[in-house]
Structure 1
Amino acid sequence: MTPARSALLLAGLMASAGLAHFVAPRQFDSIVPRSLPGSPRAWTKASGAVELALAARLALPATRRAGARATALFFAGVFPANVKMAYDWRHRSAAARTITYARLPLQVPLVLWARHAGMRDVRRGAGGADG
């Protein structure tokens, strides 16, 4: 898959996730680490807005490379929320625990996907003007 196509698919994922933060915020509020200042809802809205902004940057060739780098950093930055969710769900059903534990290593391919999305498309010379 070309980096440009990969970036557009990742932009779709990020836009969907960003919208979900506004449509169904309660599920995200519950995984905001308590150590963060302010209300969980504020962090939910902020992270949703960041995901929407990252989606836009990934979708536009002129900002794609920087957007891809920022997306990779974002995936690393939300990892503590996934750890908190895994910890909070440790007493739930085996199926629920499996889902949350599976999310933890999923961050690695997401970071790699973002890195790939920011590569220059050698075949077309596309991939973004910012460097």
Structure 2
Amino acid sequence: MIKLVLRALLSLFYAYAGYAHLVRPEPFLAITPVWVPYPDAVIWWTGLAEIAGAVGLLQPFSRKLRQAAGVGLALYALCVWPANIHHFAMDMASESGGLGLVYHVPRMIAQPVLIWLALWTGEAIGQRPATSP
């Protein structure tokens, strides 16, 4: 039951984040490292990836699709981590100190938790192997 609730919450989180990427990309563009090519397209595609992952994670009919969505969202969270680190460094270097450590440290800690949560709720890890009779 806990896994189902966390799966639903994670799906809502990613669906909203994907929606935000599509309708208001400016904050995401602002934290995108300069070495990322075609940042507008990357932000758009990442929004679609988040929405697709959220839908795949929620569907009840195919465990393989849930697993693929969990792996996809975990890889996505891993791939956007450099943007979060860039935002942390850029923000903390600003004269005002930006959002501060109270925001950035939990966000850095949350990234591996999100990766694990996507894999676990997507049933890509933590499953007991089938036993033969």
Taking structure 1 as the reference length, the TM-score comes to 0.81
**Once superposed, what is the RMSD of the aligned Cα atoms?**
1.8
1:34 is matched by which residue type in structure 2? V
CA contact (8 A) 1:6 1:116 kept: no
- Alignment coverage as a number of residue pairs: 119
| 1:41 equivalent in structure 2 | 40
Q: Could you list the runs of 5+ residues in structure 2 that have no partner in the other structure?
A: 125-133
Q: Does 1:59 align with 2:58?
A: yes
Distance 1:81 1:6, change over 3 A: same
Identity within the alignment, %: 30
Q: Does 1:5 align with 2:8?
A: no
Q: Does 1:114 align with 2:114?
A: no
Deviations 1:105-130 (A, max 9, x none): 2101111211220228xxxxxxxxxx
- 1:95 deviates by 6.2
**Greater Rg by CA:** 2
| 1:93 equivalent in structure 2 | 96
1:72 is matched by which residue type in structure 2? A
2:80 is matched by which residue type in structure 1? V
Distance 1:87 1:95, change over 3 A: closer
Distance 1:97 1:5, change over 3 A: same
| 1:71 equivalent in structure 2 | 73
- 1:102 deviates by 2.8
- 1:17 deviates by 0.3
- 1:2 deviates by 3.2
CA contact (8 A) 1:89 1:100 kept: no
Q: Could you list the runs of 5+ residues in structure 1 that have no partner in the other structure?
A: 121-131
Structure 1 stretch displaced more, 13-22 or 59-68:
59-68
Distance 1:48 1:37, change over 3 A: same
- 1:5 deviates by 2.8
Taking structure 2 as the reference length, the TM-score comes to 0.80
